[in-house]
Structure 1
Amino acid sequence: MKQESVVSAHPVSDGMRATVLENLAALEQQHQVTVLFACESGSRGWGFASPDSDYDVRFVYVHRLDWYLTVEPGRDVIEQPISGDLDINGWDLRKTLQLLRASNPVLLEWLRSPIVYRQDTSWAPRLRALAEEGFSPVRGYHHYVSMARKNLREHLYGAVVRYKKYLYVLRPLLAARWIREARGVPPMRFAELASQTLTDRAVLDEVNALLEVKMRAGESATSLRWAGIHAFIEAELAEAMAHVPGKSPAADARALDQYLRDAVLHFDTKT
Structure 2
Amino acid sequence: MEHDSITPLMQDRIRQTLTQIEKTQRIKILYACESGSRGWGFASRDSDYDVRFIYVHQLDWYLTLDRKRDVIERPIDDELDVAGWELSKALKLMRNSNPALIEWLHSPIVYQKDALFMQQCEQLASKFYSPLKARYHYLSIAKRNWREDFKEETIRLKKYFYILRAVLALRWIEHSKMMPPMAFSQLVQTTVTDHAVLAEIEQLLVMKQHADESRYGPHRPAIDRLITETIEKSEKLNLPEPYYRDSHLLDDFLQKTILANDIKWE
TM-score (norm 1): 0.93
Question: Aligned equivalents of 2:204 and 2:132: distance in 1?
Answer: 30
Deviation at 1:211, TM superposition (A): 1.0
**Aligned-residue offset at 1:101:** 0.5
Say if 1:269 and 1:45 are closer, same or farther in 2 by CA, change over 3 A.
closer
Pairing partner for 1:160 from 145, 149, 154 = 154
CA drift at 1:240? 1.1
Q: Tell me if structure 2 keeps the 8 A contact 1:39–1:113.
A: yes
| CA distance in structure 1 between the partners assigned to 2:17 and 2:150 by the alignment | 36
| 1:24 matches 2:18 | yes
Is the counterpart of residue 223 in structure 1 residue 217 in structure 2? yes
Superposed, 1:166-177 pairs within 5 Å as: 166-177=160-171
- Structure 1 segment 204-219 matched on structure 2, within 5 A: 204-219=198-213
Q: Which amino acid aligns with 2:56?
A: V
* Alignment check: 8 A CA contact 1:10 1:44 kept: no
Deviations 1:134-189 (A, max 9, x none): 21111111111111111112344322211121111111111111111134111110
2:181 matches 1:187: yes
Cross-structure match for 1:99: 93
**Paired residues of 1:102 and 1:251 also in contact (CA < 8 A):** no
Secondary structure at 1:118 match in 2: strand
Choose from 254, 257, 266 the match for 1:263: 257
Whether 2:135 is the aligned partner of 1:138: answer: no
Q: 1:39 aligns with which of 30, 33, 55?
A: 33
| 1:121 aligned onto 2:115 | yes
Residue of structure 2 in register with 1:85 after alignment: 79
One-letter identity of the residue aligned with 1:43 = S
Q: Residues of 2 paired with 1:172 and 1:185: CA distance?
A: 12
Task: After TM superposition, give the deviation of residue 252 of structure 1 in Å.
Answer: 2.1
Q: CA RMSD in A?
A: 1.5
1:248 aligns with 2:242: yes
Q: Which residue of 1 aligns with 2:191?
A: 197
TM-score, with length taken from structure 2: 0.94
Identity of aligned residues (%): 43
**Secondary structure in structure 1 of the residue aligned to 2:238:** coil
Alpha carbons 1:41, 1:56 under 8 Å: kept: yes
Letter in 2 for 1:171: R
Q: Which amino acid aligns with 1:130?
A: L
Unpaired runs of 5+ in structure 1? 1-8
- Which consecutive unaligned segments of at least 5 residues does structure 2 have? none
Give how far 1:241 is off. Answer: 1.1
1:269 Cα shift? 5.7
SS in 2 for 1:40: strand
Q: CA deviation at 1:248?
A: 3.1
* Number of residue pairs matched by the alignment: 263
User: Aligned pair in 2 of structure 1 residues 226, 10: CA closer, same or farther (>3 Å)?
Assistant: farther
Aligned AA (1:197) = T
